[in-house]
Amino acid sequence: MDMSSDVAKGAASASSVVELSYADAAVLAVQREMDADPRVVVLGEDVGRGGIFGQYKGLQQRFGSERVIDTPISEAAIMGAGVGMALAGLRPVVEMRVVDFALCGMDELVNQAAKNRFMFGGQGRVPLVARMPGGIWDASAAQHSQSLEAWFAHLPGVVVVCPGTPQDNHSLLRAAMQCGDPVVYIEHKALWGARGPVDESLALPLGRAAVLRRGDALTMVSWSRQLQACHAACEALAAEGIAVELIDLRTLWPWDRDTVLGSCAKTGRLLVVHEAVQAAGFGAEIAASAAEATGCRIARLGAPRIPVGYAPVLEAQSRVGAERIAEAARTLCSAASTR
């Protein structure tokens, strides 16, 4: 596999590389930013005991309860307090536990955080990071397994990030905490235990995709946990002589148009794959942009427009697996390019 991404290049050359879990990489990112900037604070339910996924482990013991703040069970109050803190000059990390619960705090995010800079001519800034773990949470059913990143990408005024590896969860979380605007930061609920190399000296900018494999037959674009199935599909396709260029978008807004459209112009084919419901998913934005800019052949894969079931056989209906991805790629490659 051609690991030509920023992550691979940085990890290969740096002496500060350690193997960490996705959760521990995030803990280290928050710790480093809190060490460097006394304005960074954390607030949310259960953050004092480390968070439900261990993504704040040890931080309250290190920084005290005035900077790692346990809150009541009220997402509207948590988000509202975070917006107020940001407007007052702090840089809050607002923990929503899971994206599904963040819906209770949407007004504060949508009508206050996202719009403040615009409505007041830049007099106020909301440098807030809203952590909203998303995606299918195994055996957790419809109210705990939603992929809502397209909602936030549709919202002017916010940045949207979906890290898929421990390295990205470290570097992009630090970049999010340094950003001057509100960032919706969507870690995947099923990735917390995933392990990989992390170079804490590697800085990654928001808005830049990673090319994980090079190929000339097909461009495949995905993000977050769905990349695992995409990797498996690419391996199967490579054994058949189909070289796929696999791109991890990493940031959904702003998204890396240059990398994606450049690849589409080269291969003449685009397959966008995401875990979210296909209807009105962010893949449609990528597909439309590629069609307008390059005229390439396009296919999309996403979940059916159904709630995620609790029973394994029902939950499986909402997953986009490697076999389905590989079959869609074969179909796309067998058709003549329209370029």
Enumerate the active-site residues: 144
Q: Does an H or E element contain 224, and which?
A: none
Three-state secondary structure call for residue 54: coil
CA neighbours closer than 13 Å in the CB half-sphere of residue 161: 28
Identify whether the C-beta of residue 313 lies closer than 8 Å to the C-beta of residue 284.
no
E strands, the chain, are: 17-21, 40-44, 68-70, 91-95, 129-131, 159-161, 183-185, 195-199, 210-213, 218-222, 244-248, 251-253, 269-277, 297-303
CA distances from 127 to 2, 6, 36, 84 (A): 36, 25, 16, 11
Give the tokens for residue 84: 């107020």
Identify whether the C-beta of residue 147 lies closer than 8 Å to the C-beta of residue 135.
yes
Residue at token pair 């939950």: 315
Identify whether the C-beta of residue 244 lies closer than 8 Å to the C-beta of residue 212.
no
Identify whether the C-beta of residue 1 lies closer than 8 Å to the C-beta of residue 8.
no
Size of the chain, expressed as the number of residues it contains: 339
Which residues are registered as beta bridge partners of 204? Answer: none
Which residues are registered as beta bridge partners of 273? Answer: 301
Give the tokens for residue 129: 């990071």
Contacts of 255 (CB under 8 A, 6+ apart): 207, 209, 249, 285, 286
